[in-house]
Structure 1
């Protein structure tokens, strides 16, 4: 059996963002940021044009996702350890004695429980699958997204696309 994959890892599929992670039940990292780098791999059968998926479209879709996160504060919408409130102007986040106040326009709420590289990769994979689906092109059998926080430190999520 022969399998095919396409891989995109471009200089412009990057985003600079702030975050912090809660862990071990009672700890919270200091607020910090990363110059993240995202890459995507799609696997599947070749279409009539001899491609798993069009590179031009794949690069554009991944870049759009990265651009939504660029120069933003990433906050997990579903973290039970955090108390969050928002107004039109600001987002207030509390964890124990820590209180953060961010301009609302600088925040991206993500439907995840923590802003770990693993969960960012999973969210980005889901967003990429939705974007691929919107193109009307045949879907790959899997979508893999890798999110690197820094050189040599990354997390990867592979989603099997079952409803192709």
Structure 2
């Protein structure tokens, strides 16, 4: 048995999305709506396959790019927050927090099944989305972990690592 570990990591200048959000913290504080140029990086770990690689760089890059494109130039809103209430129809999305209210065109929003649109929970959401996508790829059977890194601001990363088979 070998003690060697292998990982493949992808981050590119185009794995960036511009998106607006606001978060709550300390129970009653809600930030103002603001935006970031978020950067994504992805890493998978596992043994080498018969071709001597962990996973196809291009497939990993392309799957990550599709997720980044879904979020780019949108307002990110949490649908599972206990105090931010989000409702939508085919035209508008309304978000409320206490006495504050925001209304956005439906096509400008991504409703995320998260409790708060923190970089950590965005990384988690992306990790589980990517896990589903990669699972259909022939090279995914031996992957052990998937790690997503989201940079919210220069030098400020949130990282989520999940098992590929659990």
TM-score calculated relative to the size of structure 1: 0.96
Paired position in structure 1 for 2:44: 42
Q: How does 1:4-153 map to 2 (within 5 A)?
A: 4-139=6-141, 140-153=143-156
Unaligned runs of 5+ in 1: none
How well do the aligned residues superpose, as a CA RMSD in angstroms? 0.9
Alpha-carbon distance in 1 for matches of 2:113, 2:136: 20
SS at match of 1:57: helix
**1:32-88 deviations in whole A, cap 9, x for unaligned?**
000000001110011111110000100000000100000000011100101222121
Alpha-carbon distance in 2 for matches of 1:4, 1:162: 17
Q: CA deviation at 1:154?
A: 1.0
Q: CA deviation at 1:136?
A: 3.0
SS at match of 2:139: coil
Does the 8 Å contact 2:94/2:101 carry over to 1? yes
Paired position in structure 1 for 2:161: 158
Alpha-carbon distance in 2 for matches of 1:63, 1:162: 23
TM-score calculated relative to the size of structure 2: 0.95
